[in-house]
Structure 1
Amino acid sequence: MTSKFSLLTVIVASLLATSIAPVSAMEPPVKLLGDPAPASSGTRTIVITPDTRHVNVTGGEVVNFAVGDKMFTWSFFVAAGISSFDLNRIAPPGMLDHVVTAYVARDPRYIGGGNRNR
């Protein structure tokens, strides 16, 4: 009886782990990565070259990206828990010809929480 119970436990645990893995590996929807923005709202410009492999931005920041003679602007109002993603997911189609990872630092306006001892 004990060996049947142990075998059943192992099978159930394996099935559960297998069914959860694809969900955790899924990328977040683009709507959680921020929004396109007008170029005039960008606070800085990052030039992306063929050698660029990553960019560093801060949550809440609006950034212009220059790729050759083209440009796009993105507002990084990202969902909580998002710290990096492939910039190709938000760039206009065909603009980037290689993977560029955007590393997003937490929005400083939401770090902390004030004095909780009051």
Structure 2
Amino acid sequence: MNAIKSVLAAGLLSIGTLAFAQTPADLSLLGDSAPVTAATRTIVLTPSTTFVNVTGGETIKFIVGEKSFAWNFDGPVSSFDLKRVAPANMLEQTLKVYVAPNPTYFP
């Protein structure tokens, strides 16, 4: 009986994990990857950085140690963990991005 419960629990956990898997469509709601040369602003991230503020429509170059990447914040989401879009293993900590509305769309 315990073996059946263990198998069922493992199956339910697997289904739950699949429900939260990121798809490219999910990431597109956060913006788009961009070449670092397209960035209009640079933010240096350190291990003590816990959040950054950006504005919708901005393309930001993030520097982490000797590595860098850029992100264009053109999605509708107002905040998210930057680790979701950073290259693998670039960020060790959770780092919240707060995205202000794009002023182009508000008079």
TM-score grouping bracket, smaller chain normalisation: 0.7 to 0.9
- How far residue 40 of structure 1 moved from its aligned partner, in angstroms, is 0.8
In the alignment, structure 2 segments of 5+ residues that lack a partner are 1-19
**Alpha-carbon distance in 2 for matches of 1:93, 1:111:** 35
Counterpart amino acid of 2:99? V
- Deviation of residue 69 (structure 1)? 0.4
1:89-113 CA-to-partner distances (Å, cap 9, x unmatched) read 000010000000000000001114x
What residue is the counterpart of 1:78 in the other structure?
75
Partner amino acid, structure 2, of 1:94: N
Counterpart of 2:95 in structure 1 is: 100
TM-score (norm 1): 0.68
Q: Alignment identity in percent?
A: 51
Q: Counterparts of 1:107-118 in structure 2 under 5 Å?
A: 107-112=102-107
Give the RMSD, CA atoms, in angstroms: 1.6
Which entry has the higher C-alpha Rg, 1 or 2? 1
TM-score by length of 2: 0.75
- Note the C-alpha offset of 1:67: 0.3
Secondary structure in structure 1 of the residue aligned to 2:98: strand
Give the SS at the match of 1:102.
strand
Unpaired segments of 5 or more residues in structure 1? 1-25, 113-118
* Alignment-derived partner of residue 57 in structure 1: 54
Q: What is the distance in 1 between the residues matched to 2:81 and 2:106?
A: 24
The answer for the alignment partner of 1:48 in structure 2 is 45
Q: Alignment partner of 1:60: what SS?
A: coil
Q: Which residue pairs with 2:29 in the alignment?
A: 32
